[in-house]
Amino acid sequence: MTEKTKIAVLVSGGGTNLQALLDAEKSGILKSGKITLVISNKKDAYALTRASNAGVKGVVISQKDEGQALSFEDRLIEALEAEKAELIILAGFMCILSEKFTHHFKDRIINVHPALIPSFCGKGYYGLNVHREALNYGVKVTGATVHFVNEIPDGGKIIMQKAVSVEEGDTPEILQKRVMEEAEWVILPMAAEKVSAEIMKGRVK
């Protein structure tokens, strides 16, 4: 039997998207991939506790670590290659990755963005900023997008999108929660399964 695609998840905060992926693996939605590593750039990220609770190895690699011979991205690459990670999922990872990094793992990095790309995306569009802008603009529909990652922020090929209605009285916080629950937590595991299955298939050839 072909081995499952090894997945590494990169996080910076609470890890709700990581939890959605862990739950999807447990329920069988994510069946072609296995999460084997979680890397955080912040040592106090609750996502590391979620990883530990699920029996997944968690590692901290910080930009602030001094006295390191290798750069932040080089240390990331070293950890990912040591784990033989085949798919990298950015789940609330608050770092812009360079072209060197994205090219090294070309078509192997995916990200979830809390809007329907090409709306409200690119540099500066993250977290509540995205939902604030959507509400300021007066859109009636927003959503989430899973896309491949390249050197342009939110610029890679779209894998999957899901629309979410904007409702009267929404605040950025209320809209953020609805987009996470109705879109991000749904399409991120589905996209992870799709790409994991393609990687497995490609390995068989």
Per-residue pLDDT reduced to its tens digit, 141-152: 999 999 999 989
Residue 132 has pLDDT above 70, yes or no: yes
Whether 104 sits among the annotated catalytic residues: the reply is: no
Residue 187 contacts residue 162 (beta carbons within 8 Å): yes
| Active-site residue identified among 103, 113, 131, 147 | 113
Q: Strand 33-40's sheet: what is its strand order?
A: 57-60, 33-40, 5-11, 87-90, 109-113, 141-148, 158-165
Q: Read off the tokens for 53.
A: 């609770």
Alpha helices, H only, 41-179: 46-53, 72-82, 99-104, 128-137, 172-179
Cα–Cα distance, 33 to 46 (Å, whole number): 23
Q: Read off the tokens for 149.
A: 């990652």
Q: Please, which pLDDT band fits residue 164 given cuts at 50, 70 and 90? A: very high
Residue 205 has pLDDT above 60, yes or no: no
Instruction: Name beta bridge partners: 202.
Output: none
51 Cβ contact list (under 8 Å, min separation 6): 9, 15, 18, 38, 57, 58
Percent of the chain at pLDDT > 90 equals 86
- DSSP assigned state of 113: E
Per-residue pLDDT reduced to its tens digit, 85-127: 999 999 999 888 999 999 999 999 999 999 999 999 998 898 8
Residue 66 has pLDDT above 90, yes or no: no
Give the least confident one: 58-72, 110-124, 155-169. 58-72
Please tell me the predicted confidence (pLDDT) of residue 148. 97
Residue 69 has pLDDT above 70, yes or no: no
Query: Domains of the chain, with CATH numbers?
Result: 5-204 (3.40.50.170)
Instruction: Give Cα separations from 6 to 1, 87, 91, 110 (angstroms).
Output: 15, 6, 16, 14
Per-residue pLDDT reduced to its tens digit, 115-125: 999 999 998 89
Per-residue pLDDT reduced to its tens digit, 170-188: 999 999 999 999 999 999 9
Instruction: Name beta bridge partners: 146.
Output: 112, 160
Q: Please, which pLDDT band fits residue 204 given cuts at 50, 70 and 90? A: low
What does pLDDT average to over the chain?
94
Backbone angles phi, psi at 195, to 5 degrees: -70, -40
Cα–Cα distance, 62 to 60 (Å, whole number): 6
